[in-house]
Structure 1
Amino acid sequence: MPKREGTERANNSRTLCSSRQVRFLNKISCLSISKMLAFILLSLLCIDVSAGPAQMRVSSYSGEYGGSAGNPFDQSRNQLDGPITALRIRADDRYIISIQVCYGDSWSGTEGSATGNPFNVQLFPGEGFVQVLGRFGSHVEYLAFRTNLGRIFAFGPSSGSGTTFDAEPLFPNTVLRFISGRSGSLVDAIGFHWDKEPSPAHTTNPAKIT
């Protein structure tokens, strides 16, 4: 009998130890899972915070203003040469005849006709266009560009029967980065693409008008 009782006590002791071990392991498992979940949540929050500003949208588009004649043009690739540093525009007493944009130190092609004397605009370092007023019918009739330094450059007749527009970026601290539209013998339509200006803002020697 004593031997049997000793055996039972030993078995009970092993069972108790086994139960304590199971509970201990369960606690460790729960703690490990909790720590793992907390680590994953913290990682996701860090990723979200770090990616947030980079993914914030700052680009916007205004237009297209004008008619459906002419061939489409898009100067989105030109912006890779740098920010807009100068304009060259031809206009008469009825329409905008042509527009040419300088990106960094590189001029775009002429949209419209290259006949007549151009009006040349050169921007200061750090200066950019932040608003464009205009008027159009079947062609673009009038354009007035305002810069972030308050300068205004107007082209074409200031009054007429066409439809007026006021183009501005949707987001603060953004400027005109490139234009698109349609052109033939005149500037038939135009659109304005706004975004943050690259750094450095401008070349130290803005493009010369030639």
Structure 2
Amino acid sequence: MFVFLFVAVLCTGCLAVPMMHYSYSPSVGGGSGTSFSTEGGYGKITAIRVWELNNAYIVGIQLRYGGIWTERAGREIGVPEELELFDGETIVQVSGKYHSNYIYQLKFVTSRGRILFAGQPLYASFNFYASHPDAELKLLSGRSDGSGITALGAHWGVHEEESNTTDV
């Protein structure tokens, strides 16, 4: 009887704690240079900027959370490719091409099917997406050297105000 009561109390306690739906897409690329993270402490992602070098490889990335742009990862050359998200729209996939030295192409796909392309389709492919169907891109991390982005990983999570934690 005591064991049954203990298990019942334990299970009830588990129901009171909301489940976290977080996943990480491990980084791709050579990984030389300085590490970066697009700090996601300002709310939801509302826009993306990507700089590329003469239609070659990716040299810089910047995300906007709410109305605040993060510090740029990498460098700024020319005019960036930019995608501003609509209200309620999220990033649900990040894919592209990479080699041992740089990220050569990036493709961001939104929950509305819109796409931002930058770079060239050279070398090996990667495809990042969340492990939970309600999750969205929270931040990017990786490495950059003086020339461009050398490694990239993606962090996913369910936005707390929209999550439904009835599943156990």
Partner SS state of residue 40, structure 2: helix
Alignment of 1:187 onto 2:149: yes
In 2: Cα distance, 1:66 partner to 1:38 partner: 51
Find the residue that maps to 2:76 and give its secondary structure: coil
The reply on whether 1:174 has 2:157 as its aligned counterpart is no
Match of 2:46 among 64, 85, 108: 85
Please give the root-mean-square deviation of Cα atoms over the aligned residues, in Å.
2.1
Q: Which residue among 1, 8, 25 is the counterpart of 1:62?
A: 25
CA pair 80-40 structure 1, distance change in 2 beyond 3 A: same
CA offsets, 1:82-132, max 9 Å, x none? Answer: 111101111132101111111122111111111211122100111111111
Within a 5 Å distance, the mapping from 1:112-131 to structure 2 comes to: 112-131=74-93
Moved over 6 A (4+): none
How many residues of Structure 1 are paired with residues of Structure 2 in the alignment? 160
How high is the TM-score relative to the length of structure 1?
0.69
> Unpaired segments of 5 or more residues in structure 1?
1-33, 202-210
Higher Cα radius of gyration: 1
Is the strand fraction higher in 1 or 2?
A: 2
Amino acid at match of 1:173: D
Q: 1:96 to 1:41 in 2, by over 3 A?
A: closer
Which residue of the partner structure matches residue 94 of structure 1?
56
Aligned counterpart, 2:166: none
1:72 aligns with 2:71: no
Offset, 1:45: 3.5
After superposition, where does 1:1-210 map in structure 2 within 5 Å? 42-51=8-17, 54=18, 56-75=19-38, 78-91=39-52, 92-137=54-99, 138-157=101-120, 159-160=121-122, 162-184=123-145, 185-199=147-161
In structure 2, how many angstroms separate the alpha carbons of the residues matched to 1:41 and 1:89?
52
Distance across 1 between alignment mates of 2:153 and 2:104 = 14
Q: Secondary structure at the match of 1:48?
A: helix
Structure holding more helix per residue: 1
Higher relative contact order (CA 8 A, sep 6+): 2
Change in 2 beyond 3 A, CA 1:45/1:200: closer
5+ unaligned residues in a row in structure 2: which ranges?
A: 164-168
> In the superposition, relative to structure 1, how do residues 95 and 49 fare at CA in structure 2: closer, same or farther (>3 Å)?
same
